[in-house]
Amino acid sequence: MQKLLAKRPTTSKPSARTRPSEAEAMAAVKTLIRWAGDDPTREGLVETPKRVVEAYREFFAGYEQNPDDILAKTFEEVEDYDEIVLLKNMRFESHCEHHMVPIIGKAHVAYIPNRKVVGISKIARLVDVFAKRLQTQELMTKQIAETIERVLKPRGVAVIIDAYHECMTTRGVHKSETTTVTSAMHGVFKSQATSRAELMSLIQQQV
């Protein structure tokens, strides 16, 4: 896994030298349209390459951001708060790196502060940074947890993701109701069963 992490872009965007131009990307889309059996010059498809490139810019905006920077601003005047901070049911959209089709699901992210807390919107943004890249769910779960652990140095961090994979629901085995659940636990969430049980109880509670 460490070798896999080392090969992936984590904090910086591709250089101008290695990144294809927009024109090259649009030409590639035209090639795919032809490969699918259609004519990229017909009226309904003329603007499609440009639209696809614009959509990809949004889908994969996470490559443009440094996840550590998102958590850089913290608050230490929190009256020694040392209980669970949980953001649950955060919807995200990602794309499978194997078939480049959507992964759609919910993320639950929790940590127990060690003097530092971060604005709750920053946790949501961190999820999106990793979601907006070509991903596997297992690695995305690990990346979110390890970033929080590295930057905030909390007493514990937990990430649980539950998602539909369209590479499984709309093609292949066509198991449309199946979701995949992954988790990463660090610190007290890994070492203490009582902390894990409290976390799971909070996730399962209905508002």
Q: 2-59 is classed in which CATH architecture?
A: Orthogonal Bundle (1.10)
Domain extent listing, the chain: 2-59, 74-204
174 is catalytic: no
Tens of pLDDT along 76-102? 777 678 899 999 999 999 999 999 999
97 is catalytic: yes
Catalytic hit among 99, 138, 166, 192: 99
For tokens 């069963």, the residue is 193
The token pair at 54 is 């614009």
Catalytic hit among 65, 95, 135, 165: 165
Q: 74-204 is classed in which CATH architecture?
A: 2-Layer Sandwich (3.30)
65 is catalytic: no
Per-residue pLDDT of the chain (207 residues; tens, 9 = 90+): 444 444 565 555 555 568 899 999 999 999 999 999 999 999 999 999 999 999 999 999 999 999 999 999 988 777 678 899 999 999 999 999 999 999 999 999 999 999 889 999 999 999 999 999 999 999 999 999 999 999 999 999 999 999 999 998 898 898 888 999 999 999 999 999 999 999 999 999 976
108 is catalytic: no
Opening angle at CA 74, ends 187 and 143, nearest 5: 45
186 is catalytic: no
Residues 6+ apart with CB under 8 A from 30: 40, 49
Do the strands 134-135 and 85-96 form a parallel or antiparallel pair, or are they unpaired? parallel
